[in-house]
Amino acid sequence: MFTLHTTCKEVLESLNEQFTSLPEMTTPNKTPPGADPKQLERTGTVREIGSQAVWSLSSCKPGFGVDQLRDDNLETYWQSDGSQPHLVNIQFRRKTTVKTLCIYADYKSDESYTPSKISVRVGNNFHNLQEIRQLELVEPSGWIHVPLTDTQKKPIRTFMIQIAVLANHQNGRDTHMRQIKVYTPVEESSIGKFPRCTTIDFMMYRSIR
C-alpha cells in the first residue's frame, strides 16, 4: 500500500520488486529430430517394409499424394486437401510385425502446414482401429521416430496402421508430411545360433571331399 508520504523512488522500487517476483513465461521445447532412418538400416536390425503395404490418403492435392510421401525425397511432400483429421492408411496383405514408424516433418519450410498433434492407430481394418500412440509436436524439423510396441515392449503385429493428423501449428487447416517409413525387426538367422564346433572329430569331417 502506498501512502501520501511515499516518494516516487519508493513507488518505482516497489513496482520493480513485484514484476521481478512474477514467474517467467516459458515456451515449450521444440521436438528434437531423430536419427536418419538410413542409420537404422545400416545396423541390420530393421528393414523397411512400406513397399509391401497398400497406401491410401483421406485427401490430397493433385501431385502431392502417396508417390511424394514415399519417394525418398525430403523436398517433396503429401499435402492434404480436406477437413481434419487428415489420414494416412497403411494396409498389409497379411499380419505383419512392425517396430518403428519414421515420419519427416519440416516446420521451417511448412510452417502452419506442419502437424502439431498426431495419433497412431492399429488394427485389422478400418472398423477396429485402436490408438496406441499420440504425439504432441513443437516445430519439428527432422525425423520423428515412433516406436510401435505393446504393453510388454514387443513390436506389434497388425494388418493396418493409420496415422491421423489431429491438429497443425498455428491452427493450419491442411497438412504436409514429407516422408513416412515403416520398419520391421530383422530376425536373427537360426544358423547363427548354432555353437561353433571345434572338436577333433568334427574337424576331421568339416570339409567336403
CATH class of the domain defined by 47-187: mainly beta
Domain-wise residue ranges, the chain: 47-187
Residue 19: the pLDDT is: 41
Rg (CA), the chain: 26
Is-cis flag, bond preceding 85, omega within 30? yes
The SS3 assignment for 146 reads: strand
Question: What is the residue-averaged pLDDT of the chain?
Answer: 85
End-to-end CA distance of the chain: 104
pLDDT at 185: 96
What pLDDT does 33 receive? Answer: 86
Query: How much is the pLDDT for 13?
Result: 65
- Percentage helix, strand, coil for the chain under 3-state DSSP, each rounded to 5: 20, 35, 40
What is the tens place of the pLDDT at every residue in 9-66?
665 565 455 544 444 444 568 888 888 999 989 999 999 999 999 999 999 999 999 9
Helical residues (DSSP H) of 27-98, grouped into ranges: 37-42, 66-69
- CA 175, CA 2: separation in Å to the nearest integer? 55
Q: Is the pLDDT of residue 188 over 60?
A: no
